[in-house]
Amino acid sequence: APGLYLVATPIGSARDITLRALDILREADVLAAEDTRVLRRLLEIHGVPLAGRPVMSYHDHNGERMRPRLLTVLAEGKSVAYASDAGTPLIADPGYALAKSVSEAGHLVTTAPGPSAALAALSLSGLPTDRFLFAGFLPSSAGARSTALAELGRVPATLVFFETAQRCALSIREMIARLGDRDGALCRELTKRFEEVRRGKLSDLLNGVISDPPRGEIVLVVDRDRSEVGEAGIEVALREALETMSVK
Ligand code: SAM
């Protein structure tokens, strides 16, 4: 059917792609990718022929220019499969403005769900999975970062952060300062050869990061505040929420 298909791709292990995702990549009229070379390589691995179909590049820096072009393709009644470099498009990856404008233009937007680094890490973290907040990458400026951590510190949910190997020690140090020494998990190179999950207090993780610096791609997962203050804070927040509701 015509429309935009958001196709999730592997986060490490090339065979982590769904059969339906491959069907969609095989059948779409037009392919679009954050990095066309990465998509071509994936198609090659799985024996999906391009068969002369266009592969358009779509990323944050050409989005404004490319959206009208992709909308034209969709208006012609064609299907477009969009993939980012790894994992689920739009999740700390390009595609949000595209999906929004395609849906506003009245075309179908649908998904071929699959790998997601955030969910893979959460499920391996050993931390509660009943309620979580995906925080993406912390801002790079020091001020914005401490504001973000102060806000997140009050959220009664497991927190999931994307990190880089270079910045990870700095981030954990700031988390200890702003959130307290909570339980955490450092999830690295998931589904790849050097997959590793380190669990412990943030202070243990920090010591580990200093003595044995982690390489590669990292997701940090942090528990909610378990201190009495935190638990009491949640009670207060819940009571206030209930009171507000009953007033209405
Ligand atoms: N859209 C992707 C997804 O749904 O998984 C995330 C893209 S984001 C630009 C890249 C970040 O995801 C990395 O910096 C890292 O924090 C995390 N990541 C991606 N692949 C990973 C892996 N195999 N192991 C651990 N973290 C990973």
Task: Kindly state if the Cβ of 92 falls inside 6 Å of ligand 1.
Answer: yes
Predicted ipTM beyond 0.90: yes
**Within 13 A of 47's CA, how many CA atoms are on the CB side?**
1
Using DSSP, state whether 234 is helix, strand or coil: helix
CA 162 to centroid of ligand 1, rounded, Å: 7
pTM over 0.90: yes
Q: Ligand 1 mean position to 33 CA, how many Å?
A: 16
The encoded tokens of residue 56 equal: 């358009």
- The CA 217 to ligand 1 mean position distance, Å, reads 6
Separation CA 203–CA 130 (nearest Å)? 24
Report pLDDT digits (tens) over 209-228: 999 999 999 999 999 998 87
Tens-digit pLDDT profile for residues 50-66: 999 999 999 999 999 99
Distance from Cα 2 to the centre of ligand 1, integer Å: 29
Residue 37: predicted pLDDT: 98
pLDDT greater than 60 at residue 247: no
Output the residue whose Cα is nearest ligand 1's atom 8.
Answer: 92
Q: Which of 123, 219, 220 has the most ligand 1 atoms within 8 A of CB, as the residue to mutate? A: 219
Which element (helix H / strand E) includes 137? strand 132-137
Instruction: Give me 191's structure tokens.
Output: 């589904």
The pLDDT value recorded for residue 227 is: 81
Q: What is the predicted pLDDT for the residue at 233? A: 62
Partners of 136 in beta bridges? 161
Q: Is the CB of 84 under 6 A from ligand 1?
A: yes
